[in-house]
Amino acid sequence: MQSSGTDHALYRLGDELVVRLPRIGWPDEGYPWPWAVYRWLRGRDATVERVDTSVRAARDLARFLLALQAIEPEEGFPTGGNSRAQPLASRDGATRQAIAALGADLDAAAATQAWEAALGAPVWDQPGVPVHGDLLPGNLLVQDGRLSAVIDFSGLNRGDPACDLMMAWAGVTPSPRR
């Protein structure tokens, strides 16, 4: 199987297992990065083409998110590890540097204007709730047009639940997005 992970490469191990290896470093006896063997989950990435784009699919995802956010984290549950769940202002400097570095490849004035508008959005002022932190099509599996699994919880932490709404734009068509 060809791996499509961003941070990890996935390799089938027989019919029932998958090996998840970090994309950094070379595996050997002293391999310093965590790796794992998991049970293989059937399904395909949740691209718009593969998902039943009805309200049902959006509701399945919303039910998952509400259940995740309702979990009362125990002491020691990660907080702030995933910058997506933190206030945008924490990424202001890096974002402005990235806009400047793109030079002629980007309309810097328009990008800066959009960024400043985003910074003006209300900041989450409640205690952080559990968030997946990387809820994109590659981390959702579908079978027969329905959500069948949510995978890759490496970004799990507490923060602003708005970060998990990115799937509404990356994998849900406009009509059920509401």
- The set of residues, in sequence order, having a beta carbon less than 8 Å from that of 33 and lying 6+ positions away, is 22, 24, 25
First to last CA, the chain: 36
- pTM for the model stands at 0.76
Report residue 40 as tokens.
């293989």
- Tell me the DSSP string of 60-101: HHHHHHHHHHH--PPTT--BS-SGGGS-GGGGHHHHHHHHHH
Which residue from 90, 69, 59 is spatially nearest to 132, judged by alpha carbons? Answer: 69
pLDDT for 1 equals 44
Instruction: Name the fold adopted by 43-87+123-178.
Output: Aminoglycoside 3'-phosphotransferase; Chain: A, domain 2 (3.90.1200)
Domain ranges of the chain: 1-40, 43-87+123-178, 88-119
**Going residue by residue through the chain (178 aa), what tens digit of pLDDT does each one get?**
454 566 778 899 999 999 988 887 766 777 777 888 999 988 887 776 666 656 777 788 889 999 999 998 887 777 766 568 888 898 999 999 999 999 889 999 999 999 999 999 999 999 889 999 888 888 888 887 778 889 888 888 888 898 898 887 776 677 666 6
Helices 108-119 and 92-101 cross at an angle (nearest 10°) of: 170
Q: Is 142 exposed, middle or buried (0-12, 13-18, 19+ CB in 10 A)?
A: buried
Report residue 172 as tokens.
């849900």
Which residue from 156, 150, 163 is spatially nearest to 132, judged by alpha carbons? Answer: 156
User: In the block, which residue shows the tokens 């027989």?
Assistant: 14
Strand partners, 16: none
User: Distance (Å, rounded) from C-alpha 75 to C-alpha 41?
Assistant: 30
